[in-house]
Amino acid sequence: MEKALQGIFWINTKLKQIEKACGCICLGVLFTVMISNAMLRYCLHSGFNWSDELNQFLFVWMGFLASAYAMGDDKHLNVAAFVSLFPKSVQYVIRQLMNIIMLVFFVMYIPALMELLGQLAISSVMRLPLKYVYAILPVSFGLMSYHILCNMIMDTQCFMRAHKGGGKVNV
């Protein structure tokens, strides 16, 4: 069981590294295209007509990759101020309930998002099929679901260790 958990957490770590690298690449390309286009428009009074559309697509990818990365680090938006008012054992239960609600939401939407990808047209300027642009939605929802499961397992391990040893619960 311990080896299986180590494998799960190893995959979680690798996924976060990939998400971070892809997000950085998106940011770098977005920045480069934006600066290049601004310089061309200023100096030559003409820029790339496709740059704004590409930047929109990169921004979508970067945003959803960042959301998945934040979920993997358990740094997503939550109601921490409210949860901290309760005892540690109740905090654990509330956190697990929040994770279950998020997990159900993400898993429920993945099939609908996959269906949506088949219905999308092509972009107006770059003539790129929008299914490639919005493919990040089901991918990021899947990544976030995996990260939530890993966070739930880690929270449970911390809770069980603290409960067994009679120590503090670090959730």
What tens-digit pLDDT sequence spans the chain (171 residues)? 789 889 999 999 999 999 999 999 999 999 999 999 999 999 999 889 999 999 999 999 999 999 999 999 888 777 777 888 899 889 899 999 999 999 999 999 999 999 999 888 999 999 999 999 999 999 999 999 999 999 999 999 988 888 776 555 555
Q: Is 93 exposed, middle or buried (0-12, 13-18, 19+ CB in 10 A)?
A: middle
Is the whole model's pTM more than 0.85, yes or no?
yes
